[in-house]
Amino acid sequence: MTKNEIKALISLLDDSDYEVASYVEKQIVQLGEGIIPFLEEEWEETLDSDLQKKIEDLIHNLQFEGLMRRLKEWKEKGAEDLVEGMYLVNSYLYPDVDFANISKTLDQLYFDAWTHMKDEMHPYDQVKSLNNVLFREKRFSANTKNFHSPANSMLHLVLESKRGNPLTLCVIYMTLAQRLQMPVYGVNLPNLFILTYKLDGLQFYINVYNKGLILSKADIDNYILQLNLNPLDIFYEPCSNLDIVKRALRNLAFSFEKMDDPEKATEVTKLLDSITDDELPI
């Protein structure tokens, strides 16, 4: 459709004939996210609050469907880029945030961490060096005051505020560690997401939420015991990028439930379902 045809179509959104308006909405939805700039233009030009609300809902629905499609594509491509997956989670609340800005911030953090790394460092010393950069120099820390805030699941906000939940802080830490050639991976512990350093028979754990505290297998054993759970392999071994993004979506849905926003919680659960096969939940 031409620009004039699109504008003419959008102008019929407030038609007094319900069937006409309904048909127009369906046509707009079929055109996909590319029509959003035209809808935003119409929103700015009209003074009709009802029409503005209708346009807002249409834009949200178009963005939501586009996000669900991109999440599925990310999974089908192998879920190789964790930062991209977390950026897609970020896009639910902040569709206009630029991926390049997130990448630029991570690039700078990586450079700062890289300058502190030396050749032939012991794994413990590598972790301590990265801890020093992130938690002392850059002052990243746990957001204990607003633990259930949706902002804690938004990667760009955590990079800006330097406050986050265990999962998002771990994603930042793990991204930097892997770029520094450190064999660091996510571990899906119940109630707490942590990291593991695993290479050639050496394995220990990192509690990023507690400023990179190094933990042993015995510490994990005790934690599992305190929760009265069986010591399953998934509580000790690396998980996939897909598992991490699923957990991020579960965290976000739970945040909205705590905020008494069931509509957003339901939408985020739909996003989670779109990348979840019929397996038992963790």
Q: Report d(CA 176, CA 169) in Å as an integer.
A: 11
Enclosing H/E stretch for 257: helix 241-258
Both 127 and 32 in one domain: the answer is no
Indicate the number of domains in the chain. Answer: 2
Indicate whether 280 belongs to any domain. Answer: no
Both 109 and 68 in one domain: the answer is no
What is the reported pLDDT for 37? Answer: 85
What is the reported pLDDT for 282? Answer: 43
Indicate whether 282 belongs to any domain. Answer: no
**Number of CB atoms found within 10 A of residue 51's CB:** 15
Indicate whether 279 belongs to any domain. Answer: no
Beta pairing, strands 213-215 & 202-207: antiparallel
What is the reported pLDDT for 47? Answer: 75
Q: Report d(CA 187, CA 195) in Å as an integer.
A: 5
Rg of the chain over all Cα atoms, to the nearest angstrom: 22
Q: Give the ranges where 204-240 is alpha helix by DSSP (H).
A: 217-226
Indicate whether 190 belongs to any domain. Answer: yes
Domain that holds residue 185: 82-274
What is the reported pLDDT for 101? Answer: 96
Both 39 and 131 in one domain: the answer is no
What is the reported pLDDT for 278? Answer: 57
Query: Of 11, 46, 76, which residue is a domain's last?
Result: 76
Q: Report d(CA 68, CA 27) in Å as an integer.
A: 20
Contact between residue 147 and residue 166 where contact means Cβ atoms under 8 Å apart: no
Both 67 and 102 in one domain: the answer is no
Query: Which backbone phi and psi does 278 adopt, to 5 degrees?
Result: -80, 60
- Sort 19 into a burial class: Cβ within 10 Å, 0-12 / 13-18 / 19+: exposed
Q: Is the four-CA dihedral 172, 140, 145, 221 of positive or negative sign?
A: positive
Residuewise pLDDT in 10s, the chain (282 residues): 777 777 777 777 777 777 877 877 888 888 778 888 888 888 888 877 887 888 888 899 899 999 999 999 999 999 999 999 999 999 999 999 999 999 999 999 999 999 999 988 999 999 999 999 999 999 999 998 888 899 999 999 999 999 999 999 999 999 999 999 999 999 999 999 999 999 998 999 999 999 999 999 999 999 999 999 999 999 999 999 999 999 999 999 999 999 999 999 999 999 999 999 855 444
Query: Of 61, 76, 91, which residue is a domain's last?
Result: 76
Nearest by Cα to 212 from 177, 252, 236: 177
pTM over 0.95: no
What is the reported pLDDT for 280? Answer: 46
What is the reported pLDDT for 124? Answer: 96
Rounded alpha-carbon distances, angstroms, from residue 68 to 10, 29, 74, 99, 282: 24, 14, 10, 17, 22
- Sort 9 into a burial class: Cβ within 10 Å, 0-12 / 13-18 / 19+: middle
Both 260 and 225 in one domain: the answer is yes
**Number of CB atoms found within 10 A of residue 22's CB:** 11
Residue with tokens 């991209």: 84
Indicate whether 225 belongs to any domain. Answer: yes
What is the reported pLDDT for 152? Answer: 95
Both 134 and 67 in one domain: the answer is no
